[in-house]
Amino acid sequence: MTPNLAASLYLISGMLFILALRGLSSPETSRQGNLFGVLGMVLAIVVTFLSVDILSNSFVIIICALSIGGAIGAFIAYRISMTAMPQLVAGFHSLVGLAAVLVALSAYYNPEAFDLGKPNNIKIANLVEMSIGASIGAITFTGSIIAFLKLQGIMSGSSIIFKGQHFINLILGIGIACLIFYVTIDQSNFIFWTLIIISFLIGVLLIIPIGGADMPVVISMLNSYSGWAAAGIGFTLENTALIITGALVGSSGAILSYIMCKGMNRSFFNVILGGFGGTNLTSQEKNKDRKPVKSGNAEDAAFLMKNASSVIIVPGYGMAVAQAQHAIREMADNLKRNGVNVTYAVHPVAGRMPGHMNVLLAEANVPYDEVFELENINNDFASTDVAFVIGANDVTNPVAKTDPDSPIYGMPILDVEKSKSVLFVKRSLSPGYAGIDNELFYRDNTLMLFADAKKMTEDIVKKLD
Amino acid sequence: MEIDPFIFRLSIFVLSIFVGYFVVWSVTPSLHTPLMSVTNAISSVIIVGAIVAASGLTSQTGFELSNILGFVAIFLAAINIFGGFLVTQRMLQMYKKKKKEK
């Protein structure tokens, strides 16, 4: 295949990837979009096979690597539970990162295969591109592994902060920039490896200070990084498909990070530089002498909801942990049979990744047109009889609107307190991720249901029958 | 003076960022998780680099380190391609069922 034809076909492959993302603008077109993505990938791989001279013995190994990897991937895709999506995506990001590092290393050792010049005499521009690609890939790799370990619960989800952390990161960042510059002068393997190892290190250091509920930002950010790494390699290989894809994925991840940060009313740097730092002692002490909370049982909740004309269900990460989504759907079906209007309200940062709640509800067969985003449903709380909050906490805390001293002040929240009564399913009164008390617990129209989310919902279903 | 081909690639890159920007903003928030898994799958197009790396033999004596790195990269990218597209398909399938049931 001539290079010009190959380049044109890579361009088509890039266009198919754009259509793949475009398809996701609505659930109806999304499956078609995914098909475009698959076509683009197949096209890119076939074109590559036709443009390189492959000796038969390496061809066999390539096919083996493809099929074993493919089988493992397919197996994971079918077996993974939907609640484990965040760690799966984090795990997949780490693979893209590592693949980028390996391709860059291979190009460094054998630039002739890539038309980049001779070993130790690679063109400067290519050298810079592949160093950047390798460095970002390495950061993506270790960063995603830490994110994976945290989401999987192997590593503590709380933030790990030590003295001088930002200073070390700064030094390492400057070190990477210097090494990329130095590689262009002295193309030794040692320097290239040092660059990669420092990048591995900084990936770890960047992610360990970030706590559980900030994970949506981290995952989106790593998504973005994996794209930029691919684009860097694309420049090195002079491959249009890779450049287009890298840019698409990079901007997609960046936009998602932005949406997540906005959902928490925090700046990107605030999130990246580590957790909700200083504990807000004042607001915690204030709550010491609060009046007692009202707590109820499944029967009270069933009675309240059965006699309501409208119920809004507000799911949060707790729902995912308890795997309560199926029970919730059952409860909603039951209520609907009783003539109750049931809808769902999803906060942008509910869960551990963008859209986490939506996927879980979709898994439980909740029709997607009953699930609303914050801005589309927030006005409805005032005219709603019951808000059923399950596994969410900080995203409903009215303090975000009233107390300028609160760490979550200014964060957009779901106005559940405006509904006639609030049912709050929670295991205890402990504060949420931000470490602040939710004054909603102490309101007159709030009924606390202390139990595991799934168990409580199942009990309510029984009482409804 | 001739224009460096790098500039053409840079143009593609910058324009693709803009395309990505507008396309991704039009993605409905309820599909943000499938968006992440599909972007993950398509970024595995890095496999084209891995195939070049794996097949670029410099000597007839056997595989070099650069080839072995390529094989491993193909393996990793393949996990991602199959895993990413299939899990996206699985998720999107769940968004379909409901519409019918209603």
pLDDT higher than threshold 80 for residue A419: yes
| A133-191 pLDDT, tens digit each | 999 999 999 999 999 998 888 877 677 777 777 788 888 889 989 888 888 888 788 88
CB of B89 within 8 Å of a chain A CB? The answer is: yes
Distance from CA of A389 to the nearest CA of B (A): 19
Name the closest residue on chain B to residue A114, using Cα atoms.
B52
Q: What was the pLDDT predicted at A282?
A: 41
pLDDT higher for A432 or A52?
Answer: A52
pLDDT higher than threshold 60 for residue A278: no
Query: Rounded mean pLDDT of B78-82?
Result: 95
Best interface-test mutation with B: which of A8, A24, A67, A225 has the largest number of B CBs within 10 A? A24
Q: Are strands A386-390 and A371-373 parallel, antiparallel or unpaired?
A: unpaired
Considering only CB atoms, B50 lies closest to which of A103, A227, A353, namely A103
CB of A193 within 8 Å of a chain B CB? The answer is: no
The answer to whether the CB atoms of A96 and B102 lie below 8 A apart is no
- Picking from B98, B97, B35, the residue whose alpha carbon sits closest to that of residue A344 is B98
Q: What was the pLDDT predicted at A283?
A: 45
CB of B33 within 8 Å of a chain A CB? The answer is: yes
pTM of the model: 0.88
A289 is catalytic: no
Considering only CB atoms, B78 lies closest to which of A70, A109, A355, namely A70
Q: What was the pLDDT predicted at B64?
A: 81
Q: What was the pLDDT predicted at B59?
A: 56
Structural tokens at position B36: 């992440």
CB of A237 within 8 Å of a chain B CB? The answer is: yes
> How confident is residue B11, by pLDDT bands cut at 50, 70 and 90?
very high
CB of A31 within 8 Å of a chain B CB? The answer is: yes
Most confident of A67-71, A260-264, A340-344, A450-454: A67-71
Beta bridge partners of A258: none
Cβ-Cβ contacts under 8 Å, A258 against chain B: none
Q: What was the pLDDT predicted at B101?
A: 45
| A252-273 pLDDT, tens digit each | 999 999 988 888 877 777 776 6
Q: What was the pLDDT predicted at B60?
A: 59
The answer to whether the CB atoms of A103 and B30 lie below 8 A apart is no
The answer to whether the CB atoms of A88 and B49 lie below 8 A apart is no
| A371-417 pLDDT, tens digit each | 998 888 888 888 888 889 988 888 888 888 887 877 777 888 888 88
pLDDT higher for A113 or B78?
Answer: B78
> How confident is residue A290, by pLDDT bands cut at 50, 70 and 90?
low
pLDDT higher than threshold 70 for residue A291: no
CB of B55 within 8 Å of a chain A CB? The answer is: yes
The answer to whether the CB atoms of A255 and B42 lie below 8 A apart is no
CB of A352 within 8 Å of a chain B CB? The answer is: no
Cβ-Cβ contacts under 8 Å, B29 against chain A: 259, 346, 348, 354-355, 358, 373
Query: Rounded mean pLDDT of A100-105?
Result: 94
pLDDT above 70 covers what percent of chain B?
88
Most confident of A281-285, B1-5, B68-72: B68-72
Query: Rounded mean pLDDT of A302-323?
Result: 87
Write a three-state SS string for chain A: CCHHHHHHHHHHHHHHHHHHHHHCCCHHHHHHHHHHHHHHHHHHHHHHHHHCCCCHHHHHHHHHHHHHHHHHHHHHHHHCCHHHHHHHHHHHHHHHHHHHHHHHHHHHHCHHHHCCEECCEECHHHHHHHHHHHHHHHHHHHHHHHHHHHHHCCCCCCCCCCCCHHHHHHHHHHHHHHHHHHHHHCCCHHHHHHHHHHHHHHHHHHHCCCCHHHHHHHHHHHHHHHHHHHHHHHHHHCCHHHHHHHHHHHHHHHHHHHHHHHHHCCCHHHHHCCCCCCCCHHHHHHHHHCCCCCECCHHHHHHHHHCCCEEEEEECHHHHHHCCHHHHHHHHHHHHHCCCEEEEEECCCCCCCCCHHHHHHHHCCCCHHHEEEHHHHHHHHHHCCEEEEECCCHHHCCHHHHCCCCCCCCCCCCCHHHCCEEEEEECCCCCCCCCCCCHHHHCCCEEEEECCHHHHHHHHHHHHC
Best interface-test mutation with B: which of A57, A87, A103, A129 has the largest number of B CBs within 10 A? A103
Query: Rounded mean pLDDT of B96-101?
Result: 54
Reported as half-sphere exposure (CB side, CA atoms, 13 A), residue A294 has a value of 11
pLDDT higher than threshold 50 for residue B67: yes
Query: Rounded mean pLDDT of A348-372?
Result: 88
The answer to whether the CB atoms of A365 and B97 lie below 8 A apart is yes
Query: Rounded mean pLDDT of B13-22?
Result: 93
Residue recorded with tokens 């972007």: B39
Cβ-Cβ contacts under 8 Å, B85 against chain A: 34, 37-38, 41, 77
CB of A240 within 8 Å of a chain B CB? The answer is: yes
CB of A223 within 8 Å of a chain B CB? The answer is: yes
Cβ-Cβ contacts under 8 Å, B80 against chain A: 73, 92, 95-96, 99
Q: What was the pLDDT predicted at A284?
A: 46
Query: Rounded mean pLDDT of A280-297?
Result: 59
pLDDT higher than threshold 80 for residue B61: no
DSSP state of B60: S
Query: Rounded mean pLDDT of A121-126?
Result: 82
Separation CA B55–CA A53 (nearest Å): 7
Considering only CB atoms, A52 lies closest to which of B19, B55, B84, namely B55
Cβ atoms within 10 Å, residue B96: 15
The rounded mean pLDDT for chain A is 85
Collect all residues with Cβ–Cβ distance below 8 Å to A188 and sequence separation of at least 6. A120
Q: What was the pLDDT predicted at A5?
A: 92
pLDDT higher than threshold 70 for residue A275: no
Query: Rounded mean pLDDT of A439-451?
Result: 83
pLDDT higher for A435 or A72?
Answer: A72
Q: What was the pLDDT predicted at A368?
A: 86
| A27-48 pLDDT, tens digit each | 889 999 999 999 999 999 999 9
